[in-house]
Amino acid sequence: MSEHVAVELANGVLSVALNRADKKNAITQAMYTALAEATERARTDDAVRVVLFRGEGDSFSAGNDIADFIAIGQQGGRQMADAPVFRFLRALADLDKPAVAAVRGRAVGIGLTLLVHCDLVVVAEDALLSAPFVNLALAPEAASSILLPMAIGHQRAYELFALGEPIDGRTALAWGLANRAVAADQVEATAAELAGKLAARAPNSLKKTKRLMRDAEALWAQMLREGEAFGSQLTSPEAMEAFMAFTQKRAPNFS
């Protein structure tokens, strides 16, 4: 288990906290392994009724750790399905218990796409959510290419993907990406309250309801398709230019 993912079970709620606040909870491969282990446990452990995803510090997650991307790209890449992130994505696709998210500050990339796998999402009104995959010359992941348009419509989803500009928590609520938008200091309490309510409901009924609402195998198949696109882009000259521009704090030149 990574030191940067804190897991705690209490009253049927498995709290899974991104705990790398100094890096805005940017997610490393080691963290993906820990997230996968926690999500797999949630599915198989009868003591777990609900999963609550949250972040320590002032941000939910800044997304994937860019240093990981640069390292993989410089090594010539590898099959994305072999990466720890895909173990986590498979666990998300298979999760048939309720998942709740508590989002403050930034939710970038996987920090946003994780939310479309959650059943209840609480955001801070001033949270900033973005999916800047195209800005990094990459492609969507986590089956977000089908789940996000289903949640908020094609045009809004395309804008998030293609322009990469953030939306605030109030907009996320209005667009249907969140269930509640509250003051930042109320996010944790509100999410914990909702998770507690779910933990008190009939667990098998909740599981069957979620299974009927989601096609796990279709989600996994889409994740693999996205992985092929993501992986090919990851080692492309476009992506290398985008990563270098990001680290050098300049605009990329795709000419």
Decide if pLDDT at 245 tops 70. yes
The fourth-level CATH superfamily of domain 5-186 is: 2-enoyl-CoA Hydratase; Chain A, domain 1 (3.90.226.10)
Tokens read off for 244? 């270098």
CA–CA distance, 34 with 79 (Å, rounded to integer): 20
CA–CA distance, 111 with 127 (Å, rounded to integer): 12
Decide if pLDDT at 66 tops 60. yes
| pLDDT of 203 | 98
Percentage with pLDDT > 90 across the chain = 87
CA–CA distance, 110 with 58 (Å, rounded to integer): 17
| pLDDT of 103 | 98
| pLDDT of 77 | 46
- Model confidence at 26, pLDDT cuts 50, 70, 90, reads very high
pLDDT in tens, 134-167: 999 999 999 999 999 999 999 999 999 999 999 9
Break the chain into its structural domains and give their ranges.
Answer: 5-186
CA atoms lying within 13 Å on the CB side of residue 117 = 28
* Long-range contact pairs involving 72-76 (C-beta distance under 8 Å, separation at least 24): 72/234, 72/235, 73/234, 73/235, 73/239, 73/240, 73/243, 76/235
pTM (2 d.p.): 0.94
